[in-house]
Chains A and B, each alone.
Chain A
Amino acid sequence: MELKSNVPSGPLEQKWDKHKAEISLINPANKRKYNILVVGTGLAGASAAASLAELGYNVTAFCFHDSPRRAHSIAAQGGINAAKNYQNDGDSVWRLFYDTIKGGDFRAREANVYRLAQVSVNIIDQCVAQGVPFAREYGGLLSNRSFGGAQVSRTFYARGQTGQQLLLGAYSALSRQIGLGNVKMYPRTEMLDLVVVDGHAKGIITRNLVSGEIQRHVGDAVVLATGGYGNVFYLSTNAVGSNVTATYRAYKRGAAFANPCYTQIHPTCIPVSGEHQSKLTLMSESLRNDGRVWVPKKKGDNRPPDQIPEDERDYYLERKYPSYGNLAPRDISSRAAKQVCDEGRGVGPGGLGVYLDFSEVIKRLGENVVRERYGNLFDMYHEITNENPYAVPMRIYPAVHYTMGGLWVDYNLMSNIPGLFVLGEANFSDHGANRLGASALMQGLADGYFVIPYTIGDYFARNKIARPSIDAPEVKQAEADTRNQIARMLSIKGKHSVDVFHRELGRVMWEYCGMARTDASLKKALAEIPEIRARFWKEVHVTGGGEELNLALERAGRVADFLEFGELLCLDALERRESCGGHFRAEFQTEDGEAKRDDDAFCHVAAWEYQGPERKPVRNVEPLDFQFVHLATRSYK
Chain B
Amino acid sequence: MRVTLKIWRQKNAAATGGFATYTKDNVVAEMSFLEMLDALNRELVEKGEEPVAFESDCREGICGTCSLVVSGIPHGPGKGAATCQLYMRRFKDGDTITVEPFRARGFPILRDLIVDRSAFDRIIQAGGFISVNTGGTPDANALPIAKEQQELAMDAAACIGCGACVAACKNASAMLFVAAKVSHLSLLPQGQPERQQRVLNMVAQMDKEGFGACTNTFECEAACPKEISVRFIARLNREYMRASWGDK
Contact = CB atoms under 8 A, between A and B. Distances in A.
Are A and B close enough to touch in the complex, i.e. CB under 8 Å? yes
Interface of A: 47, 50-51, 54, 65-72, 74-75, 84, 86, 122, 124-131, 133-142, 158-159, 161, 163-165, 168, 171-173, 175-176, 178-179, 185, 187, 210, 237, 239-241, 273-274, 276-279, 281-282, 379-380, 383-384, 386, 449-450, 453, 495-497, 499-500, 541, 543-544, 548-549, 551-552
User: What 9 pairs between A and B have smallest CB-CB spacing?
Assistant: A140-B144, A172-B129, A179-B125, A497-B45, A129-B137, A51-B134, A128-B140, A239-B57, A133-B154
Contacts of B121: 67-69, 175, 178, 185, 187
Contact of A67 (B29, B58, B120, B130): B120
B87 to A, nearest CB: 7
A142 B120 CA distance: 30
B63 A239 contact: yes
Contacts of B57: 65, 70, 72, 239-241
Nearest to A273: B30
A185 B122 CA distance: 11
Contacts of B65: 65-66, 70
A56 B45 CA distance: 48
B153 interface: yes
Given A72-B63, A128-B190, A131-B184, A172 B124 contact: yes
A74 B58 contact: yes
B136 to A, nearest CB: 9
Given A70-B65, A140-B144, A552 B56 contact: no
27 contacts: A65-B65, A72-B58, A84-B141, A125-B140, A130-B132, A131-B185, A131-B190, A133-B153, A139-B144, A142-B140, A165-B157, A172-B124, A173-B129, A173-B134, A176-B125, A185-B121, A187-B121, A274-B31, A276-B35, A278-B59, A383-B85, A386-B87, A453-B134, A497-B51, A548-B11, A548-B111, A551-B51
A450 B154 contact: no
B124 to A, nearest CB: 5
A198 to B, nearest CB: 32
A70 B57 CA distance: 8
B135 A549 contact: no
Contacts of A86: 141
Contacts of A239: 57-59, 63
Contacts of B1: none
B118 A171 contact: no
A383 B225 CA distance: 13
Interface in B53-89: 53, 55-65, 78, 80-81, 85, 87, 89
Given A159-B154, A548-B111, A67 B87 contact: no
Contacts of B87: 383-384, 386
B130 A549 contact: no
B35 A541 contact: no
Interface string B40-53: 01100110111101
Given A125-B138, A239-B58, 10 more contacts: A67-B118, A70-B58, A131-B185, A136-B147, A383-B78, A449-B134, A449-B135, A543-B51, A544-B50, A548-B111
Given A175-B121, A179-B126, A240 B150 contact: no
A133 B184 contact: yes
Contacts of B48: 541, 543
Contacts, number: 224
A278 B62 contact: no
A450 B145 CA distance: 26
Interface residues of B, number: 80
B131 A380 contact: no
Contacts of A70: 57-58, 63-65
B165 to A, nearest CB: 15
A12 to B, nearest CB: 23
Given A142-B141, A273-B30, A136 B150 contact: yes
A161 to B, nearest CB: 6
Contact of B138 (A129, A158, A171, A379): A129
A383 B81 contact: yes
Given A70-B63, A125-B138, A499-B38, A130 B161 contact: no
B5 interface: no
B30 A274 contact: yes
Residue among A54, A72, A131, A240 with the most chain B CB within 10 A? A131
A273 to B, nearest CB: 4
Given A130-B190, A187-B121, A549-B111, A279 B59 contact: yes
Nearest to A349: B30
A380 B61 contact: yes
Contacts of A277: 35
A100 B217 CA distance: 51
A387 to B, nearest CB: 12
Given A67-B121, A141-B144, A549-B114, A497 B42 contact: yes
Contact of A549 (B12, B61, B140, B157): B12
Given A129-B190, A130-B129, A136-B147, A66 B118 contact: yes
Contact of B129 (A47, A126, A175): A175
Contacts of A175: 121, 124-125, 128-129
B158 interface: yes
